[in-house]
Structure 1
């Protein structure tokens, strides 16, 4: 089971575009054209960094969303974090589909490493809000 972000591009100085691929047994879903903009509520690397900083845990589900990608995080016993990645290319079409997979990481170091990898792949392209 895996999530892969790839095909990064910069449409202008305020945004970043990338594709997301989800793979699991019997599943291969691709979401091209995922966009993040500097004025979005939260940058994905910042969201993951905050989860890593809270390695002792939290009570409720935390959610990050941009365009057609949603990431939900829940903290579990033993210091493990479940990240559910939901891909949904259309929200209003009758033939719309969505796919989600859950990846598990240890809170703290594994989450910090993921945040660093995301920050390298998804640098904030413009001035901060």
Structure 2
């Protein structure tokens, strides 16, 4: 994980795959509408990474926000080719536990731990 300074002294965090530095996730352009929220742009990169967006990630995230009082079990979202998957569980105290996995190659998997 590498914290950098972006424009306007905003933090940029980059997480790289230990086995292949060309695979990574960058969190940048952080902003907040109020004291209770933090937003970031997320950039995913890997050689051969394909995106088929017939499943809408924004809708998945909006549904999580709409159910702010909680839910049972785990909720999941993925791209058509399974390159990117997201899961979320509702935890005590009103917190959501998100998990993201980036798998750019069918024969090899990489996910942040």
Q: Same fold by TM-score, threshold 0.5 exceeded?
A: yes
Q: Which runs of 4+ in 1 moved over 6 A?
A: none
In our comparison, the structure showing a higher alpha carbon Rg is 2
RMSD: 2.8
The alpha carbon displacement at 1:90 in A equals 1.5
Alpha-carbon spacing, 1:34–1:48, altered in 2? closer, same or farther (3 Å): farther
Hey, which of these two has a bigger chunk of helix by percent?
A: 1
TM-score, with length taken from structure 1: 0.49
Unaligned runs of 5+ in 2: 3-12, 25-44
Q: In the comparison of the two structures, how many residue pairs are matched?
A: 76
The residue matched to 2:52 in structure 1 has which SS? Answer: strand
Mapped partners of 1:46, 1:72: distance in 2: 13
2:67 to 42, 48, 54: 54
Q: 1:55-90 CA deviation, whole Å, 9 max, x = no partner?
A: 000001000000300000010001100110101111
The residue matched to 1:45 in structure 2 has which SS? Answer: helix
Who is 2:99 aligned against? 84
Mapped partners of 1:62, 1:48: distance in 2: 10
The residue matched to 2:15 in structure 1 has which SS? Answer: strand
Q: Is the 8 A contact 1:88 1:99 kept in 2?
A: yes
TM-score, with length taken from structure 2: 0.55
Unaligned runs of 5+ in 1: 3-20, 102-129
Alpha-carbon spacing, 1:49–1:22, altered in 2? closer, same or farther (3 Å): farther
Mapped partners of 2:64, 2:51: distance in 1: 22
